[in-house]
Amino acid sequence: MTAFLALLTRDMRLAVRVGGGALIGALFYLIVVVMMPFAIGPDLNLLGRIGPAILWLGALLASLLALDRLFATDNDDGSLDLLMMSAMPLELAVVAKGIAHWLTTALPLIVITPVLGLMLNVDLPAMGWVALTLLAGTPALTFIGLIGAALSVALRRGGLLLAILVLPLTIPVLIFGVSAANAAIVGPAPFGPPFTILCALSLASLVLGPFAAAAVLRQGQE
Amino acid sequence: MAVIDLANPTLFLRLVNRVLPWLTAATVLVFAYGLYRVAGSPDDYQQGATVKIMYLHVPAAWLGMMGWGLMTVAAFGTLVWRHPLADVAGRAAAPIGAAFTLICLITGSLWGRPTWGTYWVWDARLTSVLVLFLLYLGMLALYWTAEDPNRGSRAAAILALVGAVNIPIIKFSVDWWNTLHQPASILRMGGSAIAPSILWPLLIMAVAFTLLFFTLHLAAMRNEILRRRVRSMRMMQAQEQAQDYVEARA
């Protein structure tokens, strides 16, 4: 357990220090959301209606941004080999890295979501619902993304490959995230079913993602 | 002959060379008979002659899905039993499955134009086939990026398993998404039982396409084995040349 916490704090420290990507994801999210009205037009009614969808897409893209560095930097400086040889199961190490990644990239993004929502004319209670769905859904994005991050390390290249492999797998998360947010804001469909499925997707990927990612990493080192 | 005997690529190649001509002949014959039956099948009272696209479209959809199924089995073969031919089988199945899925999408969209008046709708069924195609493309991209075929095949095997877990989830969620936004679907297939005069040609065409799939698959596996041999021969040649060069300098 101490090894788990040590790895978690190490990754978080690396993320917030110079050269880390902690706030880059949130900044990217900000820029993507700001770009949307330029493409769609400054019609506040339209923006208010598709606001939750824009925020979800922005979060999806932002969570991809820092993913390819997740194992790549450890692989470059050799600490990935140490993680593999340590007494802690590799799956658990992958979970620790995933949680650290979520805390440093997804959480800041959720925190700034209400501010961005105001710019998109999504009112404050609705913003709370969007933030709640993001809170429930972004772990799934991170833990599905772990598989892609591991693949891009195992193949020695693949920053671009990662997006191609991971994005189709995140379609269910996007669907249930946006439909839960819309159900809460405009109705008439109930909020419960899509939200609980969203939570289920997060929990299932929390279990399956690390196993697949660890398997990929092991195959890559052979 | 047990599956394990086929681990020897030479034996496998011999078997393929013996089986492939018969399989090709069977494919051609069943296709000829299927097309004859299709030509004799009646037009739909509503859709007219366009219903004949179905004989291409539906088997392609089935085989597009079967391709991923085959890749999943091959992935188990690679990761669990470490069967040397399993990753050859998986790798050979990916482009063929992708091609059938693309055929399904293209014929579907050509069929959609006269019947629904549009090439594309975001119907649940269409969308999930499109996502399947995207997953195939990701798989192919992974094969293209991997330098070392061995390393690539294990990574691809894990991705195939991840996809196999995800495809039902994606299918389910796309169904959900669509029914939420568009309760009255334009597409109502299988609402009524298909008449036998159409069903039989369809089944024969499905058999023909399945034979075609396996013919192509075996040929692709043979090519892949030969390609790997060529690769290792080239590497040996390069090594020998390097050695000669070093000895000449010494």
From A52, A79, A92, select the one nearest A179 (Cα to Cα).
A52
CA distance linking residue A56 with residue A32, whole number of Å: 11
Chain B nearest C-alpha distance from A171 (Å): 7
Residues of chain B contacting A176 with CB distance shorter than 8 Å: 173, 176
Residue B100: its pLDDT value, please? Answer: 92
Which residues of B fall below an 8 Å CB-CB distance to A?
A: 79, 131, 134-135, 137-138, 141-142, 145-147, 151-152, 154-155, 158-159, 161-163, 165-166, 169-170, 172-174, 176-177, 180
CB contact under 8 A, A171 and B158: no
Q: Determine what percent of chain B is predicted with pLDDT higher than 90.
A: 8
So what's the pLDDT on residue A20?
A: 65
Percent of chain B with pLDDT over 70: 86
Q: Domain for residue B24, yes or no?
A: no
CA distance A64 to chain B (A): 16
Interface of A with B in 134-163 (CB under 8 A): 147, 151, 154-158, 161
Average pLDDT, chain B: 81
User: Distance (Å, rounded) from C-alpha A10 to C-alpha B13?
Assistant: 53
DSSP type of residue B4 = G
The number of folded domains in chain B is 1
* Residue with tokens 């969620």, as numbered in its chain: B173
Q: Does A169 touch chain B (CB under 8 A)?
A: yes
Query: What does pTM read for this prediction?
Result: 0.83
Tokens matching residue A15: 């993320």
Q: Do A165 and B141 touch (CB under 8 A)?
A: yes
Q: How confident is residue A132, by pLDDT bands cut at 50, 70 and 90?
A: confident
Buried b (16+ CB within 10 A) or exposed e, A168-185: bbbbbbbbbbbbbbbbbb
The CA distance from B198 to B49, in Å, is 12
Rounded CA-CA distance B36/B42 in Å is: 12
- Mean pLDDT value across residues A101-127: 83
pLDDT confidence of B98, banded at 50, 70, 90? Answer: very high
**pLDDT mean across residues, chain A:** 82
Q: List the single best residue of B158, B175, B180 to mutate versus A (max A Cβ within 10 A).
A: B158
Quick one: pLDDT at residue A104? 85
Summarize pLDDT for B52-77 with one digit per residue, the tens. 787 888 888 888 888 898 999 988 88
Which domain range does residue B175 map to? 50-184+193-249
Amino acid in the structure at residue A129:
W
Q: Is residue B71 part of a domain?
A: yes
Half-sphere exposure of B121 (CA within 13 A, CB side): 17
How far apart are the C-alpha atoms of A91 and A95, rounded to whole Å? Answer: 6
Largest CA distance in chain B: 84
B102 confidence band (pLDDT: 50, 70, 90): very high
Model pLDDT for residues A139-189, shown as the tens digit of each residue: 998 898 888 888 888 777 666 788 888 888 888 888 888 888 888 777 677
The reported pLDDT for the residue numbered B96 is 92
Q: And the tokens for B186? A: 């334009």
Contact B65, B132 (CB under 8 A): yes
- Asked if B152's CB is within 8 angstroms of A216's CB, the reply is no
pLDDT tier at B46 (50, 70, 90 boundaries)? low
Nearest to A168 among B134, B154, B172 (CB): B134
> Mean of the pLDDT values across residues B40-55?
73
Provide DSSP, A25-47. HHHHHHHHHHHHHHHH-S-HHHH
Position B194 scores a pLDDT of 63
Task: Determine, for residues A179 and B163 on separate chains, whether the beta-carbon distance falls below 8 Å.
Answer: no
Task: Choose among B233, B216, B230, B208: nearest CA to B89.
Answer: B216
Which chain A residues are within 8 Å of B166, Cβ to Cβ? 169, 172
Average pLDDT over residues B175-198: 56
A4-13, B21-30, B180-189, B190-199: segment of lowest average pLDDT: B180-189
Q: How many residues does chain A have?
A: 222
> Hey, are the CB atoms on A194 and B151 less than 8 Å from each other?
no
Task: State the pLDDT at residue A32.
Answer: 86
Q: Nearest by CB to A215, from B152, B158, B166: name it.
A: B158
Is pLDDT of B87 > 90?
A: no
Q: Do B142 and A161 touch (CB under 8 A)?
A: yes
Task: Determine, yes or no, domain membership for B159.
Answer: yes
| Residue type present at position A122 | V
